[in-house]
Structure 1
């Protein structure tokens, strides 16, 4: 190890002048590859990664990653890479999806593998990835079939004329729904950000003209040219036999031929620029102005990423971005913040995989673009000139090592998807995969030996913030009063950074403990070791009840929830403004003697969080921690009850940001429909109001503090639930010390029935609003009374899932009318049993009436006939699989404990039997009962007629 440290010391010296690795690469040992993953290559060029992993039990993940994306398209092919991804689900050799057999989506859903949840894909500029996740392994034929799907995606997608034409409409509507103001400006900016480069026109959604009109052979040629084994990686992780799976891969993919004279997979370079590149764009549908400042860097070559120096580089970059983000967050919470949000990161330069960048992203106030730009550049110059302080570095390093320790502690509980993501990045971008044991051991020895001087020197010598390769993107609302800097002014600000009057950052750190002295605790007065769901029930002397469920699902996690009845329902209607902002105002103030910023600093190196909130019917507190930080979680809980902190600067900052966001939201057409929906639902009720920017200054801070203190003045009726890796005997004294000391007055209360019920009757509102991309947004809401029990909650889930399936088939696939129809339903127990069921979609304004007719007809059909048996069985498979998975989740048990005490409904006992017993008739009757109550609100936002 001493020999390694000599090499590491040399690497740090080399890195001081730059964050790049060319000088250090030959001096460093290689990073090992995790011994538990098997990596192999077939003769045809296919790469595979296989790993056995037992979590979740009896589940496996199948992925195929392609080194293919929209950058490979020619101008006449713009959009075909993404279009091809869609087509991979619309018929393959072994899953044709017509009269010859089930398609991939249809077959997967018969096995509980839900489309859009467990079955999905994405296309980006340089890569395309398909996934089949959470596959049950109990039936070997299901596992074999999923491997066959990967085979078909690799080289046996059918691409029939009929399916291509059906998908044109779907993708056209996807483009419509995503063609927002910011996306239009990003697309336009590419030519400025990549002058003369291939990346100047490569957005995956492509050209609508191409999508609507490309000849069938064009996509077949693209598929044959680029979907080939030398560009493909198979990633399979889960509860499987590695040897057996390897043999199956070799057999199943044996017929995939090695390409003859394949086209070269070019990774297109991005040119350097000496003078700043600046794009400034305006759009009527931009909300908050956005500023992005890029400092382009040469990426680390793949050949060097396997070298230990790369690990050093990534660590130093992580520290840099972490420390700067902390400063930006602190500035954001000042009394008059120069921006709504600001954050930095290091990664790909916008869309390009062949260029990296240090990026500062800023969300500005509408009238403060110049101020925000200057503030951002000032903070960058402050870092470049003075670097970071030792105390900042100490906190950032502590947080880094804490995350590493948590991952190490969870190494036996790591889930499949974590490994999958690592292996995809290894295949596509040569990112190292040493395994957590190596990373934990190595970085715990390396990190303490890298001084802050090394990081500061690397920054100060131009390694991160060079004078060339600067790019600025500004997007602003197109409306009166918005002043954007000119390109010349932006360039002048960039060139004038070194002339700014900047002082060194002063890190204000309190040495005060979180609590100066522990409170006088209470006692456990009774203990029941066999309470609900196998919990241990503790009753404390102040009336607080604690339910502890010890699990071994995660080694480094304890989740907490405390709840009491009452909430904002107990406040008068004239407090409605304060009710709306109570939680955000309280959270902004911090706790005890610590501001929110100081509290973040004080908790560095700890895995703990606690949040208190007042809801409509309840007040509560949630938290999570590592077992070793349990006492800190208890202290934060005690302070949340007893010491909310008033901070006028934090309040002024919050008001400033709220006002700016409200003003900006007026530019977004979707904010219009949200306001319209809320007014139709609740406009008659005395607690309803529509928030406007000028109302922000009316928020009464003192009243909010008073309301919050009232809700947390009495803990005697609170129930706390603790779920996770809890050593019950160890935590008992801490529970007595802190929860037992919570204030207790013995008041008995519940919530009041003064809530805003949804308006009754058949109500409609269709209105027109100018939109840059013509679109109709449709919202339908059914409401009324409904019994609240396990069966009816299950029936609501069955109904919404069945509607999603029907609308996908009828509206998306057959009509090509929308990218998707979303159905969501919810039952509520208190203050009276009721339901809401909403259906939302977007489409071409010319199609809305026709599609609304289909949606209404299918709802009526559901109420008269119910779902098909095929759909019913698919839903059952998914719900039963999800139920089994949930049994191993701390959050599932925490929520069930809360649900049981709040509603009296047990979602764990008899669940599987209840699901299996649901019939088509049950769903039909349930749908009819909802629809026949005659309460439906329909809101349609469309465009003015020409």
Structure 2
């Protein structure tokens, strides 16, 4: 309609001009009757032209160019097949082995209705990345999220996924690379298409790279004004130095080393072989609906026989014992203290639980004493853990804020509480409370599909059934005060340690 009106306006102007200013007419001698007659002539001419336009013009409704398209439009897929299907009673799961060597561990779970989760995990991660490429590797996942997928930019991808509930994220962590995905049951095929594309047709968008760099620069500008980020950077520099290639600070120099080409190369290296990944699918999806999707989208991915393993990329502290005070103006003024211990220790499920309980009990004690009895602390936390990879070691971290010039008093209290645990002076009530909380938390987690996902990943990646009471409840219920004493003594004795105090005043050690 708008185009017709434009033509009418144009014709009206032309007709009036021709009538009023033609060579054979005298505009000044026109009277009212002449004007009326001229108007009728113009009207007839316009109506005649409009009728002709209507006959010749076909008005088409707006057509979205993405209607009917899918993620795999224009992509040739050669389906494979399932070569074996094995059920495992211990986990209630089924393992599919595909013709291209990919393994998928699947379990039906409808604790969360209409929810399906997928994880793909492979060893390697940042541990296989050269030091010079670490800045690019750190933001690989962000870059892929901004780039879109397959033939579609991020903007076009959102149009393709209109009215669909599906999400995939790329992760490159210290020892692994992974894809984490979720969808509704009806959109699971779209999720499968996205997984297929991540391996056969990933997208690397230069505009997305420019957006990533802008975001990072903005982030650096913002974090320069965030006191907790300054503290975090200072702790890193104190423990590892200012120029450790594996423990870099996020600043403008770091961002300058983030390269589009390196991100692309790293992605193709880390995600080039789907058969090196272990796939886990858990959720409200029947096996009969899953099988054809596996054959179409997973068994069709080209693979090879290469297998990778992580490398030990752990970084030692600059010194075994670090004691440092740092002047850091803060508003409002406060003192910030970070204390840590680290020691070699064999990993076991029991030691893992003891470490967690230790952290909880110490948190209870310090909260009661520092916050409630002295009333001078703003926050306090205590966490203990034990790592299995890349090295087996236990650690304890304690952090608290307090009023200026009182940090010495509170550090003494912290040391006294740690020493009490080393000597076995532990409240049975605190142990019972922590145990009860863990059991309640465990019961709550059982009500989600994610719990079943943890069952599968722990069983096939770590070699134990977390749902078996002997691997959690039985251990937790038999942890004694003596166990905490022995564990803490082994952790603290001859350990590496640090004490870093951030003080707003001028009277600090240099």
Pair in the same fold by TM > 0.5: yes
**Alignment check: 8 A CA contact 1:565 1:617 kept:** yes
Shift of 1:710: 1.1
Instruction: Name the CA distance, whole Å, in 1 between partners of 2:356 and 2:343.
Output: 17
Written as runs of structure 1 = structure 2, the 5 A alignment for 1:55-74 is none
Shift of 1:933: 3.6
Shift of 1:673: 1.2
The aligned counterpart of 1:327 is: none
**Residues 627 and 758 (structure 1), Cα distance of their counterparts in 2 relative to 1, 3 Å cut:** farther
SS state at 2:303 partner: coil
The aligned counterpart of 1:677 is: 235
The aligned counterpart of 1:826 is: 385
**Residues 918 and 574 (structure 1), Cα distance of their counterparts in 2 relative to 1, 3 Å cut:** same
The aligned counterpart of 1:641 is: 199
Indicate the structure (1 or 2) with the bigger Cα radius of gyration: 2
Equivalent of 1:729 in 284, 288, 308? 288
Q: Deviations over 1:630-688 (max 9, x none)?
A: 10110111111222212111211111121122123222222221111112333374422
**Alignment check: 8 A CA contact 1:586 1:705 kept:** no
Instruction: Name the CA distance, whole Å, in 2 between partners of 1:773 and 1:819.
Output: 11
C-alpha RMSD over aligned residues:
2.0
1:870 aligns to 2:429 (yes or no):
yes
The aligned counterpart of 1:691 is: 250
Shift of 1:831: 1.9
Q: Deviations over 1:510-565 (max 9, x none)?
A: 34421114621221111111255111111111111111111220111111111111
1:786 aligns to 2:345 (yes or no):
yes
Instruction: Name the CA distance, whole Å, in 2 between partners of 1:789 and 1:927.
Output: 15
**Residues 884 and 595 (structure 1), Cα distance of their counterparts in 2 relative to 1, 3 Å cut:** same
1:542 aligns to 2:103 (yes or no):
no
The aligned counterpart of 2:43 is: none
Instruction: Name the CA distance, whole Å, in 2 between partners of 1:877 and 1:886.
Output: 14
User: What is the TM-score of this pair, normalised by structure 1?
Assistant: 0.45
Q: Deviations over 1:304-358 (max 9, x none)?
A: xxxxxxxxxxxxxxxxxxxxxxxxxxxxxxxxxxxxxxxxxxxxxxxxxxxxxxx
Equivalent of 2:72 in 515, 519, 524? 515
Instruction: Name the CA distance, whole Å, in 2 between partners of 1:541 and 1:795.
Output: 44
Shift of 1:509: 6.0
SS state at 1:514 partner: coil
Instruction: Name the CA distance, whole Å, in 1 between partners of 2:285 and 2:348.
Output: 31
Instruction: Name the CA distance, whole Å, in 2 between partners of 1:827 and 1:817.
Output: 31
1:913 aligns to 2:474 (yes or no):
yes
**Residues 521 and 867 (structure 1), Cα distance of their counterparts in 2 relative to 1, 3 Å cut:** farther
Instruction: Name the CA distance, whole Å, in 2 between partners of 1:568 and 1:532.
Output: 33
Equivalent of 2:439 in 880, 883, 887? 880
Instruction: Name the CA distance, whole Å, in 1 between partners of 2:202 and 2:356.
Output: 39
**Residues 710 and 873 (structure 1), Cα distance of their counterparts in 2 relative to 1, 3 Å cut:** same
Instruction: Name the CA distance, whole Å, in 2 between partners of 1:765 and 1:546.
Output: 50
Equivalent of 2:495 in 904, 925, 934? 934
Equivalent of 1:749 in 300, 308, 320? 308
Instruction: Name the CA distance, whole Å, in 1 between partners of 2:76 and 2:386.
Output: 43
Written as runs of structure 1 = structure 2, the 5 A alignment for 1:33-182 is none
**Residues 814 and 531 (structure 1), Cα distance of their counterparts in 2 relative to 1, 3 Å cut:** same
1:767 aligns to 2:326 (yes or no):
yes
User: What is the TM-score of this pair, normalised by structure 2?
Assistant: 0.82
**Residues 831 and 901 (structure 1), Cα distance of their counterparts in 2 relative to 1, 3 Å cut:** farther
SS state at 1:606 partner: coil
Instruction: Name the CA distance, whole Å, in 1 between partners of 2:328 and 2:167.
Output: 43
Greater relative contact order, per chain length (Cα 8 Å cut-off, separation 6+)? 2
Shift of 1:841: 1.4
Q: Deviations over 1:606-648 (max 9, x none)?
A: 1211112222211111111111111011011111122221211
Instruction: Name the CA distance, whole Å, in 2 between partners of 1:679 and 1:539.
Output: 47
**Alignment check: 8 A CA contact 1:802 1:872 kept:** yes
Equivalent of 2:360 in 779, 797, 801? 801
